Amino acid sequence: MGVFRLAAMAWALFFWSLAAGAEGIPAAYSPVVILPAGGPDRTEFDLTAVAERARRESKRLYVYLGARDCAYCRKYESFLEANAKELVRYFAEYNYIVVDLRSALSVTQDKLYIRVGDSSRSYVEFQKVIGDVRARMLVYPLVWVFDGSLRPLMQMPAGTGTFQTVPEQLEILQLVE
């Protein structure tokens, strides 16, 4: 029992350190930070509250899944930080609530779960249900653009490498396909 409690505390401490660290979407974007529940074998992010808020406020969701130990995530976050002055107003103008799911590379697709209301689905199941072809492989960082019903507004690419310039980030916000 003691070992389990210790492991749970270590896990909680690990994710607290994520929240406290510099990782994640820069504060200028007013992200809703969601920390995972569960343990290393089942890491669950609950989107229920942000989806309800998006519906209530008639907004879109820009959901970012980053990993604490992922260099490409830091690169994208640095890009957002460097261009916050220019980009923050476009996230607002195009009506997005930015959501920051904080994970780790050890959370692979078989360990990642997404909860919406009473339903908790594994990454692959969740992606299949919403019709996202990235079900095939989880690549960090990952971005979804959703409406308030968590319907994808556009099929997004794996990773963020193709929208790390201001014009390209705008293409994403404008849902240019």
Partner 1 sequence: MRKARLFGLAVPLMFCWMALGALAAAEAERPRGLPSGVDHAASSPEWEKIRAKLFQNRNIDAASGKVQLAVPLRAPFGAAVPVKITSGLPQTQELYVKRIYIVVDKNPSAIAAILDLTPEVGQADFETRLRVDEYGHIRVISELSNGELHMASRYVKVSGGCTQPPNRDQLHNIGKTVFRLPEGVRKDTPTAAEVQVVHPNDTGFELNQITVMYIPPHFVRSIRVSYADRKVFDADVDFSMSENPSFRFNFVPRGAGELRAEVEDTKEQHFVGTLAVSLP
- The residues binding partner 1 (CB under 8 A) are 86, 90, 132-134, 136-137, 155-158, 161-163, 165-168, 170-171, 174, 176-177
Please tell me the distance from the alpha carbon of residue 143 to that of residue 6, in angstroms, as a whole number.
Answer: 33
- Give the shortest CB-170-to-partner 1 separation in angstroms: 6
What are the CA-CA distances from residue 12 to residues 2, 32, 33, 35 (Å)?
15, 19, 15, 10
- Give the shortest CB-166-to-partner 1 separation in angstroms: 5
Select from 54, 60, 13, 5 the least CA-distant residue to 35: 13
- Give the shortest CB-137-to-partner 1 separation in angstroms: 7
- Give the shortest CB-133-to-partner 1 separation in angstroms: 5
Which residue, 59 or 134, has its beta carbon nearer to partner 1? 134
Which residue, 78 or 165, has its beta carbon nearer to partner 1? 165
Which residue, 6 or 151, has its beta carbon nearer to partner 1? 151
- Give the shortest CB-173-to-partner 1 separation in angstroms: 10
Terminal CA-CA length for the chain: 52
Which residue, 50 or 70, has its beta carbon nearer to partner 1? 70
- What DSSP element (H or E) covers 90? helix 84-93
Report residue 123 as tokens.
């990454």
Which distant-in-sequence residues (6+ apart) come within 8 Å of 109 by Cβ?
122, 123, 124, 137, 138
Which residue, 35 or 158, has its beta carbon nearer to partner 1? 158
Please tell me the distance from the alpha carbon of residue 7 to that of residue 161, in angstroms, as a whole number.
Answer: 35
**Which of helix, strand or coil describes residue 46?**
strand
